[in-house]
Amino acid sequence: MDPALLLVLCLSCLLLFFLQSQSSRRGKLPPGPTPLPIIGNILQMDVKNMKKSFSNFSKAYGPVFTVYFGMKPIVVLHGYEAVKEALIDQGEEFSGRGYFPVSERTSKGLGIIFSNGNRWKEIRRFALMTLRNFGMGKRSIEERIQEEARCLVEELRKTKASSCDPTFILGCAPCNVICSIIFQNRFDYKDQNFLTLMERFNKNVKILSSAWIQLCNNFPVLLDYFPGSHNKLFENSALIKSYILEKTKEHQESLDINNPRDFIDCFLIKMEQEKHNSQSEFTTENLVSTVFDLFVAGTETTSTTLRYGLLLLLKHPEVTAKVQEEIDRVIGRHRSPCIQDRSHMPYTDAVVHEIQRYIDLLPNNVPHAVTHDIKFRNYLIPKGTAILTSLTSVLHDGKEFPNPEKFNPGHFLDESGNFKKSNFFMPFSTGKRMCVGEGLARMELFLFLTSILQNFNLKSSIDPKKLNTTSISSAFISLPPLYKICFIPV
C-alpha cells in the first residue's frame, strides 16, 4: 500500500478514536463548543478577552458549560445563580484550587493560594486570624496602612503637580503594606532591597500574562523542553524565596515569643507550638510560600485597583468633588483618615465599591476545582475538574446594577443617600475560598484614596470626557489604559 495512504488512514483512525473518547467523557460534563483534538477550544476563544468569549458561550450553551483548554476540560459558571449555587450552596465541594502547569511548578502546592485539603484549611485559618486587625502584637494593621498613606502623600507631593504616570508610586504603597505586615517595617521607596523585590514580582506578573505562558499552560511539555520566559519566572521566584528565607532566619534569631512583631514572628511561634507534631503544616517551606503568596495576592491587585480608581475619579470630577466634600465634613484637613470614618461616609464607601465593581479586576476569579466527583444541576463533574466562575457576569449583572457598563456610585446608594449593600458585590469572590486579604484590601483602598483626596485635587492634562476607561484586555487581571495625572496640593 502507498505509505502516504497508510499514514492518512492511521491519522483518520486516531482522530475518530479521539473524538469518540471525547464525546463519551463529555457525556457527563456540561455542554459546550465542540473541541478539536489536542488543541481543544482555544481557536474558538479570544485568549486576550476571555470574559467576552465566555459571555458568548453562555448565550449558546447556558450558564453552566465546558470548554477545553488544550485537552483539559474546564467548567465555566456564568451568572449569579450558578456561581452562588456552586461557591456557597455547595461550598465545600467547590473549595478546591484549580491550578495550571506553570503555577504548579512555582508553588508545588505549598502556601495558601495553590494549596488544597488540610494544608490549605490550616494555613488559611492561621492567615485569617493573624491578618485580623489585632492579630500581630502592638501595632495594628490599620496603623501600618496609615503610616504608608502618609508616606504615599509625601511621595505624591514630590511630583510637584507635574503630569505623571502614577503606576510606580501606586505600586509601592500596597507592596510596602505587605512588607510592613510581614517583615515588620516598611521600606523607603528608594531602598534597593525593596526595589529589587518589587521588580522581580512585577516582572513575574508580566511574564505570567504573556501569550507564551498561556501556551505553556495548555501544552505543559513546552515547559520542560523549550527555552523561554518561564525559566526567568522560575528563577525570579527562587530568588524572591531565598530573600524571604533570609529574612525568616533574621526573625528567628531575634524572636520574642511574647511580642510578635509581624506575620513571620506569628508563623514562627505557631511552628514552635507545633514542633512535636510531625504532620504539622507549619513548616519553613510553607512559611516561605505563604509569605510569597501574600505578596502575589496583595500587591498587584491593590495597586491596579488604586490606579484604575484614580482614572475613574479623574474621568468623573463630579464624583470626586462629592467625596472631597464628605472628607471635609467628616475628617477635615488636620488628621489622618481612619477606618472608623468609613461608617460615616456612605458616599465614599459607595464610590470604592463602584470602583471595584466597575473595574472587575479578576473577571474569571482564580480557578477553583471540585474536591470530589459531584453532581451539579444534573451534570457529573469528576474530582479535580477545574472550575472558572465568571465574576464579570455577577458584577455586571444588568438587573442588579442597571447600566452596568456605566460608572455610577448610585449602584450602591439608596434614595436617601445611605450605603446599599448588594449580594452581587463579589470582587473578592465568595464562599470558602473567598479572599483572605479582603479586609486588608478594603482598608487600603479606603485609607489610600481618602488620604490622596484629602491632600490633592486631581487634574487631567486632557479633557476628562476624552479619557478612555475601558480595560485593556488581559488574560487574568483587568488593567486600566495608560494615563497621566497631576496631583495638585489643596
Residues in contact with ligand LZ1 by the rule CB under 6 A: 113, 296-297, 301, 366, 435, 437
Residue 329, C-beta contacts closer than 8 angstroms, at least 6 positions apart:
none
**Closer residue to ligand LZ1 (CB): 68 or 446:** 446
**Closer residue to ligand LZ1 (CB): 96 or 437:** 437
Instruction: For residue 292, count other CB atoms closer than 10 A to its CB.
Output: 23
Q: Which residue is nearest to ligand LZ1 (CB)?
A: 297
Q: Are 409 and 269 in contact (CB under 8 A)?
A: no
**Closer residue to ligand LZ1 (CB): 292 or 376:** 292
Work out how close the CB of 295 gets to ligand LZ1 at its nearest, in angstroms, rounded to a whole number. 10
Report the relative pairing of strands 374-376 and 64-69 from DSSP bridges.
unpaired
**Closer residue to ligand LZ1 (CB): 243 or 476:** 476
Q: Per the structure block, which three cell numbers stand in for 291?
A: 509569605
Residue 276, C-beta contacts closer than 8 angstroms, at least 6 positions apart:
none
Work out how close the CB of 336 gets to ligand LZ1 at its nearest, in angstroms, rounded to a whole number. 26
Widest pairwise Cα distance in the chain: 91
**Closer residue to ligand LZ1 (CB): 311 or 366:** 366
Work out how close the CB of 296 gets to ligand LZ1 at its nearest, in angstroms, rounded to a whole number. 6
Work out how close the CB of 188 gets to ligand LZ1 at its nearest, in angstroms, rounded to a whole number. 26
**Closer residue to ligand LZ1 (CB): 296 or 370:** 296
Work out how close the CB of 265 gets to ligand LZ1 at its nearest, in angstroms, rounded to a whole number. 23
Nearest Cα neighbor of 69 from 194, 213, 193, 202 is 213
Work out how close the CB of 180 gets to ligand LZ1 at its nearest, in angstroms, rounded to a whole number. 18
Instruction: For residue 253, count other CB atoms closer than 10 A to its CB.
Output: 6
**Closer residue to ligand LZ1 (CB): 153 or 359:** 359
Q: Are 420 and 433 in contact (CB under 8 A)?
A: no
Q: Per the structure block, which three cell numbers stand in for 44?
A: 474558538
Q: Per the structure block, which three cell numbers stand in for 296?
A: 502575589
Cα 11 from Cα 402, distance rounded (Å):
52
**Closer residue to ligand LZ1 (CB): 202 or 301:** 301
Question: What string of DSSP letters covers 67-124?
Answer: EEETTEEEEEEESHHHHHIIIIITTTTT-EEP--HHHHHHHTT-TTTS--HHHHHHHH
Work out how close the CB of 107 gets to ligand LZ1 at its nearest, in angstroms, rounded to a whole number. 10
* CA distance to 8, 307, 366, 410, 437, per residue, from 49 (Å): 36, 21, 16, 28, 26
Work out how close the CB of 448 gets to ligand LZ1 at its nearest, in angstroms, rounded to a whole number. 17
Q: Which residues pair with 369 in a beta bridge?
A: 96, 386
Work out how close the CB of 455 gets to ligand LZ1 at its nearest, in angstroms, rounded to a whole number. 28
**DSSP state at residue 135:** S
Cα 468 from Cα 308, distance rounded (Å):
11
**Closer residue to ligand LZ1 (CB): 365 or 450:** 365
**Closer residue to ligand LZ1 (CB): 201 or 347:** 201
b/e burial code for range 138-171 (CB count within 10 A of at least 16 → b):
eeebbebbbbbbebbbebbeeeeeeebebbebbb
Work out how close the CB of 357 gets to ligand LZ1 at its nearest, in angstroms, rounded to a whole number. 17
Q: Which amino acid is at 56?
A: N
Work out how close the CB of 254 gets to ligand LZ1 at its nearest, in angstroms, rounded to a whole number. 30
Cα 16 from Cα 21, distance rounded (Å):
9
Cα 287 from Cα 112, distance rounded (Å):
10
Work out how close the CB of 428 gets to ligand LZ1 at its nearest, in angstroms, rounded to a whole number. 8
Q: Are 310 and 319 in contact (CB under 8 A)?
A: no
Cα 248 from Cα 141, distance rounded (Å):
20
User: Edge to edge, what strands does the sheet with 64-69 contain?
Assistant: 64-69, 72-78, 386-390, 368-369, 96-97
**Closer residue to ligand LZ1 (CB): 102 or 453:** 102
**Closer residue to ligand LZ1 (CB): 32 or 367:** 367
